[in-house]
Structure 1
Amino acid sequence: MAQRTEAIYQGRTIGIESIYTVIDGKQINIPAKLNWVREKSRNGELFCPCGCGANLILVAGDRNLREQHFRIKDSDTKLECTAVTEGRASIESKIVLKCWLDDKLRTGDVDTRVPINAVDDSTDRKYEFSFVSKLHKLAISYFHDRANITDEKLDILDMNTQDIKIYYIADIMNCGSEGQFPEWMMKIESRQGYCLFLSIDGIDYKDARLEAAFYDQDIDGLWCEIIVTEGRLRDYSFDENNNLLFHRDSLDTLYDKAYYEFRKKQDREHDRRIMEQEKREAERQKCLEEEKKLQEEYERKIREREEQLLREKEAAESEKRRAREEFARNMAAGFEQQEKPIKDPDGNRWVKCEFCGKIAMDREFSSYGGKNHVNLGTCIECSRNNPKAAVQISIPHRESNANRYDPTVCPECGSRLVERNGRNGRFVGCSSYPRCKYTRSIR
């Protein structure tokens, strides 16, 4: 922290920055001001700003300018002083700004820490201007800490400047937004149109820089800091109407240009996003259409497959019906042979009762089979009625295949043989296919 940087003389505040100026580009002490302040300190006319009543003396020399300050006289060190020390960066910034105003205005009347009632008829001494040039009708209010930027202070300063134009300058540490609403700096922007940020390197005026910026929301709603100008403090000046210039260009004009470019950029981004969204939507629609086509193709194939399966099922059932019908027609003749079991297309075995002549499936017989009786048996009813006492019916027997050969009858199952076409030419196959797979080539 810097040592005491201000003193009270006849109710007025004298800041240590008031003794600095720039001559021919060199930052020096003002001899007349330095001698005047030193004389007042020798005469005991400088007092502590906290109101403790202690006399202050000026500590200043031609070397080590950073150490210039006001200190309490040794005789008053026992007084209860509550003066708040000012940060080094704050006082050094005021020294730089004082030198800048002297360099640009060249009126020699730049006063520091000027209370409002010294500018206007107001009786308010709560707030003050950091710098005032009455001849140039220009004032500067400097804020090192944004916490000191209040609507009350700004309103009072605005209302009591009369025809004096005021600029608000903040320390560079207050810039930036990181997407958040810059509440304090927006208080200044709403009055000034943009914010001014001072960056220093010690008290050397030639090394100081000034940045002008404003805040606005981007297309996503995030708050952005848009740079209007950025350069050395000495490159900023004022025209005859106290408009701030940067390299002879009006800062108001540069602000309008920067604002237009920022909004134009946001509009371009908006248009780009709309185009991307439309492109994505078109691609999405294309994908949906392709998916729809694939789905329709899939459903078509499913339908075709189902129809094919249905046709195959119907054909199989038709073939089964035909085979059953043919089996039913040929079944009676089949009992003339007793060499092979008689089975229908479904694989069920059929038997003929030797007593009552009943023809039924094997489950309705109590016994069947045996040598020369493969397809004959005793049905359950005849078995219950004492078949031994019954008269056995006469069963005609077909000659065996060894004794009689019929080329139209299947030797395997006794079904009718039919001619068919195959990949190896024409052949004879059993009409009970696929139950019976008997085939014979035709020579």
Structure 2
Amino acid sequence: MVQRSVCLCDGKYIGIESIFTVIDGKQINIPDKLSALRTRSRKGELFCPCGCGANLILVAGDRNLRAQHFRLKDSARQHECTAETERPHSIYSKIVLKCWLDEKLNVPDVETRVPICLVGDTARKYEFSFVSRTSKLAVSYSCNRANLSDEKMEILRANSSGIRLIYIVDALNSCGNGQYPEALMKVQERQGYCLLLDVEEMEYSTAKLSVVFYAQDCTGLWREIEFAAGALREFSISEYGRLLYQNAPLAALCEWKKSEFEREVQQEKIRREQQMKELLERPEREQKQRPKRTQTLPVRRPQNTKSERQRAMEKLVHEKEEAGRRAQKKQREEAFRQTLAEQLNQQETQVIDPDGNRWVKCRYCGRVDKTTAFSSYGGRGSVNLGTCKICDRKPVSERRFIQK
């Protein structure tokens, strides 16, 4: 966690992302802004954003690119401070978004972390992540969907008169498990679709963006439908603040994909209804196809036909429920595997999959598997590390070589 990724200077909030830009696709520091902030840092003009009055020092340089932040002066170490921490992933995302806006808008006035009170007439402590008054564009980035409250989004909307507002959410909040995506639906209702940002460390060139919307399929499960995805640099902004993907408006792409999805849902409903109709008509059709006999046959009672129909109905319902359970299980397994590597990096809690199996990573060869493939695992400080049976059978000298 980074405790101070923003400082207060001349009554304005300045995020650490403000010192970055992009030139010819290369993410770099802005010399003028870096020099100006460093000068103000030496003069004691940078203050803690919590309002405690403590002076901050800028920590930035080409040798420490992944830890740029503001820290308290040594004389203020004992100062009572309530500054909130921010995840590094959130800071990296804001840095690449700043580079993206600089490249696509090509204007010099992209401000970071702008309080709403400087744009609208409210005194609430919400903020726009980025604002360009020249382009009349604002961006609200949320690293966690828990921050997508109705109150915040309504205040942002009400205080962005004349400014085009874009909502961007971190890709870790993707919701494709069949459940109702309550938080992301708030964005979809206001924007028409959701923008999911995927950032690897702090590099603009590798940042990705996917555009999705959520809708129910014929079984009632919520589906995440992706209709545009690629590198962040492939997305641009028109002069009217509209988002484009490879020069195609996202709004138009979304409408086309929604129509196609609705058509597929209707076709599937018709197919299922036809299948049900055939199952119900099968006994009567089979009876008509039987050869007639000369002797008098007892009349089949209607109760038998009704019983067969009931069995056919129950079988179809059972198959539908079983298919739903399999789909939900597959979604849970996919969600678990997508986060498996991240879960194994922490050594505080055990990694358990949806079936109750514990997963461990070999400290020597890096193999990831269930505990049945390990000779030993766990322990203080290495809850999710162990020695696999293959490495356990090798000499100690060879294991050390693999580890190097």
Same fold (TM over 0.5): yes
Question: Counterpart amino acid of 1:69?
Answer: H
Alpha-carbon distance, 1:81 to partner: 1.8
For 1:224, what is the secondary structure of its paired residue? strand
Q: Which residue of 1 aligns with 2:104?
A: 104
Residues 298-348 of structure 1, C-alpha deviations (whole Å, 9 max, x = no match): 539xxxxxxxxxxxxxxxxxxxxxxxxxxxxxxxxxxxxxxxxxxxxxxxx
Report how many aligned residue pairs link the two structures.
298
TM-score of the superposed pair, with normalisation by structure 2: 0.71
Q: Which residue of 2 aligns with 1:243?
A: 242
Is the aligned partner of 1:228 residue 2:222? no
Q: Which residue of 2 aligns with 1:4?
A: 4
Q: Which residue of 1 aligns with 2:343?
A: none
Structural mapping, 1:252-271, within 5 Å: 252-271=251-270
Q: Which residue of 1 aligns with 2:50?
A: 50
For 2:265, what is the secondary structure of its paired residue? helix
Q: Which residue of 1 aligns with 2:115?
A: 115
Question: Counterpart amino acid of 1:167?
Answer: I
Q: Which residue of 2 aligns with 1:277?
A: 276
Q: Which residue of 1 aligns with 2:130?
A: 131
Question: Counterpart amino acid of 2:109?
Answer: D
- Matches of 1:293 and 1:11, distance apart in 2: 96
For 2:298, what is the secondary structure of its paired residue? helix
- Matches of 1:298 and 1:104, distance apart in 2: 83
Question: Counterpart amino acid of 2:81?
Answer: C
- Matches of 2:296 and 2:276, distance apart in 1: 30
Q: Which residue of 2 aligns with 1:353?
A: none
Distance 1:270 1:57, change over 3 A: same
- Matches of 2:98 and 2:201, distance apart in 1: 14
Structural mapping, 1:48-197, within 5 Å: 48-120=48-120, 122-197=121-196
Structural mapping, 1:210-225, within 5 Å: 210-225=209-224
RMSD over aligned Cα atoms: 1.8
For 1:197, what is the secondary structure of its paired residue? strand
Residues 366-409 of structure 1, C-alpha deviations (whole Å, 9 max, x = no match): xxxxxxxxxxxxxxxxxxxxxxxxxxxxxxxxxxxxxxxxxxxx
- Matches of 1:2 and 1:183, distance apart in 2: 29
CA contact (8 A) 2:3 2:83 kept: no
* Structure 1 residues without counterparts, runs of 5 or longer: 301-443
- Matches of 2:291 and 2:52, distance apart in 1: 89
Distance 1:75 1:222, change over 3 A: same
CA contact (8 A) 2:122 2:159 kept: no
Identity %: 51
- Matches of 2:139 and 2:18, distance apart in 1: 14
CA contact (8 A) 2:19 2:29 kept: yes
Higher helix share: 2
Task: Kindly name which structure, 1 or 2, has the bigger radius of gyration based on alpha carbons.
Answer: 1
CA contact (8 A) 2:116 2:123 kept: yes
Residues 38-62 of structure 1, C-alpha deviations (whole Å, 9 max, x = no match): 1221111111122222110101112
Q: Which residue of 2 aligns with 1:404?
A: none
Is the aligned partner of 1:23 residue 2:37? no
- Matches of 2:91 and 2:5, distance apart in 1: 7
Structural mapping, 1:358-369, within 5 Å: none
CA contact (8 A) 2:212 2:224 kept: yes
Q: Which residue of 2 aligns with 1:329?
A: none
- Matches of 2:25 and 2:69, distance apart in 1: 24
